[in-house]
Amino acid sequence: YDTRSMKTSELSRVEAEVLEEYRKQVLVPAKKSKRQFLLAPVGFVGSGKSTVLRELQKKLPFVIVSADEIRKLLKERGEGYDAAHEIMFRAGEYFARQGDSVAYDTHCGRTWKKERIERLAEEISTRVFWIQVHPPEEYIIQKLRAYPHTWLFRNVAHAIENYRGHKAGDEHLALPFICTFDPSRADVEKQIEEAAERIRSGA
């Protein structure tokens, strides 16, 4: 799939149905965070973004919207992935406007994604926390080799090709990361707790 693409036109009927279905299955915390925030991870496929966000979610109340989960729903309906990010951003906007903090489970290190997230933050008067998920390349390659390639990628070679293609096209945006995670290290729990505390304190 191509994370550089974004469908900006109106959603088709099927895509709108996917948005509605996805919104219903998103885990919404019982309590909202005292200070609302948007959480934007930067990291390539296989880096561990989903793992980091799920662990942070155990310590902080926020909603996760996932581009990959939306891709799966689109594929089940025989649709392409062009609208995946548009659906994700619309879902995130819905929850953010309800007062929930929102984390985007996608590689947010693209100019158009950064602009979309920052525009929403400005509209609802909240803050964006940028986090980097950056393990060694060997960790990512090994993870992609072990990944059960049932729908997102055709096979291991396709997954690795996708990773290397996006790495080569990285924009290297200068972002104010509040922390950098390395999921390959043994102290992941400590990394998670330190990041959660920085988000709580608004650091």
pLDDT tens digit sequence for 29-52: 999 999 999 999 999 999 999 999
Confidence of residue 24 (pLDDT cuts 50, 70, 90): very high
Residue 154 C-beta-side C-alpha neighbours within 13 Å: 5
- The residue written with tokens 């036109």 in the block is 9
Q: What is the mean pLDDT of residues 123-134?
A: 97
Confidence of residue 141 (pLDDT cuts 50, 70, 90): very high
**Ramachandran bin of 105, using left for φ above 0, alpha for ψ from -120 to 50, beta for the remaining angles:** beta
Task: Name the least confident of 8-17, 104-113, 135-144.
Answer: 8-17
What are the tokens at 92? 């995130």
pTM of the complete model: 0.91
